[in-house]
Structure 1
């Protein structure tokens, strides 16, 4: 896992702005659609660990992306404190979330790890309001049946000032029947990144589906 060279400075800017707004750790985490533990993990790891997570944090705090990274406000004239464009965090409905997820794409699956959550990119398909992805048996993305899991899909523009993010919380269930495997394998976009003689399908059954859209107006 790579660490941003300025992650300590970024974390201090986030905490200072959080205090200015009178937000607790729990309030910031909730508004940015993450747990307090995951928020602390991001502050320690830096933006390269999860850029969309930091975009959501910046939107909650009303900070432009360059301001979050370096403390500079690019639109401010010398000697003034214009904050430039500020992101607005809008909630998405569950139908809007599924529409954005589409039928297939690339997302990040978060699984329990020995010392911290393990977040891995996978390509996925949507099947009857569930997420399914294919991986190598016994690999890092192959969880035990019933494991708690998060699944995030996002689209951020090149300046990271606008975009959307959908977060699914639920349980992971490895597929264990040939009929279900054949059904999933026949879906458009089901070609896996990881293979093998018989790749493992994992189905994520949601308990909660939430989404945020970042709009700079």
Structure 2
């Protein structure tokens, strides 16, 4: 896999490289999908390139995302600003599709009851042997939910084309009691918790139910998945 060197890159290059690695694609793979030369994909990733809109559309399609995501246009915007398409429809996803969209890491939301009502918490997650792992603080609501049923959701929404998908897991969350195992899981995690330090408490969700939905617009370009 072509991992970009630590050189001066623009925001688009960083986002392209991160998305490519997330999909486990080589530059050659992306170049074939986008109808470009591998050398140009390398140039976009490593330099402060400003590709034209035509190429950005092809590149976003090749990376299964949107131009807005690649250019950072959605970073500080709340969701739901787009208008729903007239022809949108919903399709259920089977477990295989759900697990493929879930991937092996990412950012999602955990829903639980902390005794004072429902709570929804954003978490960095890692998929290990079909189970979902999080790191949290020992005094957090998530840590307090050990041994109970919780829900975990992750999604991708494309407001521009009224498309997207959502995957929901429901099951029991447990604490990883063995410190050696907890350390191994923390060390193999794709990224540290974005919430900061002091989150060494490793928890694992064992899903008993996995469901998903995809919003489809037949005449919209690309794919939000």
Counterparts of 2:116 and 2:147, CA distance in 1: 19
Shift of 1:115: 4.3
Tell me the C-alpha RMSD between the 2 structures: 2.3
| Aligned residue in 2 for 1:132 | 133
Give the TM-score normalised by the residue count of structure 1: 0.58
What are the residue-to-residue correspondences of 1:5-84 with 2, within 5 Å? 66=83
Counterparts of 1:144 and 1:184, CA distance in 2: 20
Shift of 1:119: 0.5
2:83 counterpart SS class: helix
Counterparts of 1:190 and 1:184, CA distance in 2: 11
- In structure 2, the gaps of 5 or more residues are 1-77, 219-225
1:164 counterpart SS class: strand
Give the TM-score normalised by the residue count of structure 2: 0.56
Change (3 A) 1:212 1:111: same
Shift of 1:199: 1.3
Change (3 A) 1:211 1:101: same
What are the residue-to-residue correspondences of 1:1-217 with 2, within 5 Å? 66=83, 85-159=86-160, 161-196=162-197, 199-217=200-218
1:186 counterpart SS class: helix
* Number of residue pairs the alignment of both structures matches: 140
Shift of 1:170: 0.3
Change (3 A) 1:129 1:85: same
Q: Report if the CA contact (8 A) 1:86-1:216 is conserved.
A: yes
Shift of 1:66: 3.5
Change (3 A) 1:87 1:186: same
Can you list the C-alpha shifts for 1:38-80, whole angstroms capped at 9, x where unaligned? xxxxxxxxxxxx96xxx8xxxxxxxxx637xxxxxxxxxxxxx
- In structure 1, the gaps of 5 or more residues are 1-49, 56-64, 68-83
Which shifted more, 190-199 or 90-99?
190-199
1:189 counterpart SS class: coil
Q: Report if the CA contact (8 A) 2:112-2:145 is conserved.
A: no
Counterparts of 2:138 and 2:191, CA distance in 1: 17
